[in-house]
Structure 1
Amino acid sequence: MKKVAIIGGLRIPFVKSFKDYNHISNQEMLTTCLNALVARYQLSGKRLGEVALGALLNRSTEWNFARECVLGTALDPHTPAYNLTRACGTSLDATIQLGLRIACGQIETAIAGGSDTNSDIPLLLRQQLAWKLTDLRSAKTLGQRLKILAAIRLKDLKPVYPSIVEPRTGLSMGQHTEKMVKEWGITREEQDALAYQSHMNAAKAYADGFFNDLVIEFKGVKKDTIIRGDTTPAKLAALKPAFDFSGHGTLTAGNSTLYTDGASALLMASEEYAQQQNWPVQAHLVDAETAAVDYVNGEGLLMAPTYAVARMLKRNHLKLQDFDVYEIHEAFCGQVLCTLKAWEDAAYCKKLGWDTPLGSIDRSKLNTKGGSVAIGHPFAATGTRILAQTAKILQERGSGRALVSICTAGGMGVTAILER
C-alpha cells in the first residue's frame, strides 16, 4: 500500500450568506479554488488521476458539476471528475475515497473539494405544478392543453425552498441538538465558552498569519467574515435562543454555525509522486471511518462520530489521548460538548465496543486555529477546509498525529487520522 500524502489546500474566504457572494454559483466558487491549486502547484496542462467534488445545495442541471469545474481550469481536460455527497462530511469523504485509490496504486494524484452557497439557492417547483407542466408538454391537442392550464392553482406557483430539516422527524439540526444537550446536561455557559474560544483562536490565527497561504481573495473579500475577534462572553450570553423558544433553549446564533457561502479544495498524491514533483508533504492520511446512528428511534442526531472514532481507534490500537491535534467540526458547540462527554461515559462507551471510557481530551489541543462556529460552515466545503488547516498545523509542528471528526445530517459521521 502506498502512503497518501496531503500536499496542501486552498479556499476562498467563508462569508455569511446573503451578503458578499450573492448570485455567485457553487461552480464559480469551486473552480476558483481549483485554479488557485493549479497555479500554486504548477498543474497547468497536467492530467490528474481523479477529482472528486460535491455540493449539497446543487441544481439538477449541474448533474456533472465536478467535471464542469475541472473543464473550467487549466488542468488537462483528460482529467476525470465525479460528484459525491455526504452532507457536511462531503469533502472529507471525497478525500477518503481518493486516498484509498492512491493507496492501492490506481492513481498518483487527486483533488478533493466542496462548495455550498445559500445566496444562489436553487428553488424548486412544487411537485403538483411539475406534474402538470410535464402533462402539458405531452398534451396532443389544444383542448388538452387548456384543461391542464385551467387546473393550475395559485398555490401551485409557490416555490419550494430547500429546507435543512430531517425528513423523518421534521426537526432541524438545531432542534435535534437541543434534545442532545438536554440529554447530556450541557449548559448554555459551556456552549458559549467553547464558541468564545473558537472565535479567539481563529482571530489569533489570522493575526499570526496562519491563514495567509490557505485563504485566497475572492470577489474583493480577503478573509473570513464571520470571525468575531471582539466578541466577549457577555455578548454571547446576551443572544436569544435560536431553535427552542420555550424559554429553555440553549443554542443561539453565537454558539451555532451560521449560514455560510464558500468553497475549498485539497491536493493529494502518493508519497513517491510528491517526491518526484518536489512537493513538500504536509501530512499523511492514515485511516478513516464512517458511522451512522438510529436517530429516528432516540439516538442523538449528531453523535455518529462517537462510534466512528471508537472503531477507528480500536483498529489502529490507539487511545483517544494519543493525539496532538483534535479538529472536531463545530456544527454546534453543544454537539461538540455532547461528543466529548459521551466519550467520558462508561455506559455509553460500552455501546461503542469499549470496556472502559475513551476518556477526556486536552481541550488546549481542540480546534486551535478556530472551528466552524467562528470560521463558518459551507456544508460540503468544511471537510477539506478542516483537512488543509490540520495538515498545516502538523507541518508547522514538525510531527504529530491529528484526529478529524465531522458530524453530518441523516445521523452520520465521518472521521480520519492524519500524521506527520
Structure 2
Amino acid sequence: MKEKIVIVDGLRSPIAKAYGKLNNIQADELGSIIAKELVLKNNIDYDKFDEVIIGNVAQPPHAANIARVIAIKAGFNIKTPAYTVHRNCASGMQSISSAIEKIQTNQGDLYLVGGVESMSNIPLYHTNEFKNLLTQISNTKSITTKLKLLTKLRIKDLKPIIGLISGLTDPISGQIMGKTAENLANDFKISRVMQDEYALNSHKKVKAAIENKIFEDEIHPIISKNAQIFQDDGVRFDQTIEALNKLRPIFDSHGTVTAGNSSQVSDGAAMLIICTERKAKELNLEPLGFIKDYTYVGLEPNRMGLGPIYATQKLFTKSNISLKDIDLIELNEAFASQVIANIEAFKSLEFAKQHFDGKVLGEINPDILNVNGGAIALGHPVGMSGTRIVLHLLKELKRRKLKTGLATLCVGGGQGASFLLEV
C-alpha cells in the first residue's frame, strides 16, 4: 500500500431472515438508513466525501445504480458521485478495494463504502413466451384479438422463475451453489455429522455473542413504517444436533448439505467510512483499523468454495506473512462443508503439492476462527457479507486487544477474496 488506508468506523443493520422482518423494506431504503446513521454518528460533513461506492448483487429494478439512490436518500449532496459494484458474494469487499484504488490513484481521500442485499425482494420472472404474449395482448386494440390471444395462455405459463434460485446458480458450471458445496464434501470426505456439528457450533457462538452484547456496537436498529428489527434474528437459540440431523439434503437427495448446515438467505446492509490516515488526522477521526492488503483470485466455478485458501495463499505471498502472524480469522460460512474443506486444505500437504508448490499454509487454530459464529447462524445477505466480516473482525480485534486479522470468503462463480486487517 502506498499510503496507510484507514477504516474510520462502520455500522450494519440487524440481519433478518428473508421474507421476514425486513421483507417490506427495499434494499435502497435499508442501505440509506445505515449510511445516513454512520455519517451522522461520526459528525462528518457530507460534502467532504469524494464518492459513495456500494456492493449489491440483485440490483432492484426500481433503483438502477443503487449506490446513487442510497447516497441521495442518505443525505449526500447531488454533486457527490456514486456507483455500484458487483462481485457476487465479495461485492461488499469490492466496494472497499475500489475505494482503495481510487485513493492510490489520487482521485480522492474519503469514501463511504459498503454492501446491501434484500434477498426477500429479488424479483420473480416469467418466460419470454409469456412476456411476448402479454406484450401482444397489451399492444392490440381489438377486444376480439385480445380474447383470441388469451386462449393461448396456459397454466404452466403462470409459473414464475424464482429470481433467487436463478441468481444463486452459476451459469458457467450450471450448478447451484449448494451443489458446489456437495462437491467439496465429496472431495474432502466431509461427513454429514461434521457439517451438522459445525453448524450447531455456529449457532452456539452467535447465541453467546448476542447474550454478551458483542454485536451491539456494530448494529443500528431498523425502525421505520415498513420494518422494525433490533437484532439479528437468524440464530436458533434452541438449536440441537438432533434437529439438524432430521433435515433432508436439499441439493442432492443422496448428499449431505441441508438448509441447517448452509448459510441462511437473508436481508441486511453494512457501511464503512474509509480514508487515508492523513485525512483521518485532518478530520480528527479515530481509526477503527487499517487495511494492510487484499487479493482476489479466480478458480474452478464448481469448486468455488475453496476461494478462501487460494486468495489467502496469494495474500500471504504478496504480503510476506504466514498463518502464525494472524490473530483472528473471519471466513464467511457459505456452507459448513465449504468452511471445513478450507480448514482441511490449509493443512494438507497433498493439496499444497498440487496447487502451491508444496508450501502448506498451516493448520487453522479453531479458537481464532469465526469466534462469534457466522453466516450459518447469522445469515448471508450476499452483497453485504463482505463488508460485515471486515467490520466485525476489526471490532473483535480491538475488543480482544489483538493486532492482525484475516477476512476471507468464497465467491459464487469461482472466485475468492482475502483482506489483511490490522488495528
Q: Same fold (TM over 0.5)?
A: yes
Matched, 1:415 2:423: no
Matched, 1:192 2:200: no
Unaligned runs of 5+ in 1: none
Matched, 1:110 2:114: no
- C-alpha distance in structure 2 between counterparts of 1:148 and 1:285, whole Å: 64
CA deviations 1:354-390 (Å, max 9, x no partner) are 4322121111000112211111111101011111101
Specify the alignment match of 2:57 in structure 1: 56
Q: Secondary structure at the match of 1:301?
A: helix
Specify the alignment match of 1:232 in structure 2: 240
Specify the alignment match of 2:230 in structure 1: 222
Matched, 1:352 2:358: no
CA deviations 1:97-152 (Å, max 9, x no partner) are 1122223432111122222223222122422344456677888x969986994695
Specify the alignment match of 2:273 in structure 1: 267
- C-alpha distance in structure 1 between counterparts of 2:365 and 2:355, whole Å: 21
Matched, 1:255 2:256: no
CA 1:129–1:364: 2 relative to 1, 3 Å: same
- C-alpha distance in structure 1 between counterparts of 2:405 and 2:229, whole Å: 30
- C-alpha distance in structure 2 between counterparts of 1:145 and 1:106, whole Å: 58
Checking the alignment, whether the CA contact within 8 Å between 1:390 and 1:402 is kept in structure 2 is yes
Unaligned runs of 5+ in 2: none
Write out aligned runs for 1:146-185 (5 A).
149=149, 153-154=153-154, 155-162=156-163, 163=165, 164-185=168-189
Instruction: Identify which of 303, 326, 330 aligns with 1:327.
Output: 330
Checking the alignment, whether the CA contact within 8 Å between 2:180 and 2:304 is kept in structure 1 is yes
Write out aligned runs for 1:73-152 (5 A).
73-131=74-132, 149=149
Q: Secondary structure at the match of 1:60?
A: coil
1:275 Cα deviation from its structure 2 partner: 1.4
Specify the alignment match of 2:23 in structure 1: 22
- C-alpha distance in structure 2 between counterparts of 1:118 and 1:376, whole Å: 11
CA 1:388–1:148: 2 relative to 1, 3 Å: farther
- C-alpha distance in structure 2 between counterparts of 1:268 and 1:378, whole Å: 22
Checking the alignment, whether the CA contact within 8 Å between 2:288 and 2:395 is kept in structure 1 is yes
Higher mean C-alpha displacement, 249-258 vs 385-394: 249-258
Checking the alignment, whether the CA contact within 8 Å between 1:47 and 1:79 is kept in structure 2 is no
Matched, 1:205 2:209: yes
- C-alpha distance in structure 2 between counterparts of 1:347 and 1:214, whole Å: 40
CA 1:282–1:230: 2 relative to 1, 3 Å: same
CA 1:208–1:415: 2 relative to 1, 3 Å: same
Checking the alignment, whether the CA contact within 8 Å between 1:44 and 1:75 is kept in structure 2 is no
Specify the alignment match of 1:375 in structure 2: 378
Checking the alignment, whether the CA contact within 8 Å between 1:108 and 1:269 is kept in structure 2 is yes
Specify the alignment match of 1:364 in structure 2: 367
CA 1:315–1:124: 2 relative to 1, 3 Å: same
- C-alpha distance in structure 2 between counterparts of 1:144 and 1:349, whole Å: 70
- C-alpha distance in structure 1 between counterparts of 2:340 and 2:360, whole Å: 16
CA 1:74–1:61: 2 relative to 1, 3 Å: closer
Higher mean C-alpha displacement, 339-348 vs 43-52: 43-52
Higher mean C-alpha displacement, 381-390 vs 113-122: 113-122
TM-score, length basis structure 1: 0.91
For 2:196, give the aligned amino acid. Answer: D
- C-alpha distance in structure 2 between counterparts of 1:235 and 1:137, whole Å: 51
1:44 Cα deviation from its structure 2 partner: 4.7
Specify the alignment match of 2:284 in structure 1: 278
Specify the alignment match of 2:249 in structure 1: 241
CA deviations 1:135-180 (Å, max 9, x no partner) are 77888x9699869946953344443221222223433211221121
CA 1:76–1:42: 2 relative to 1, 3 Å: farther
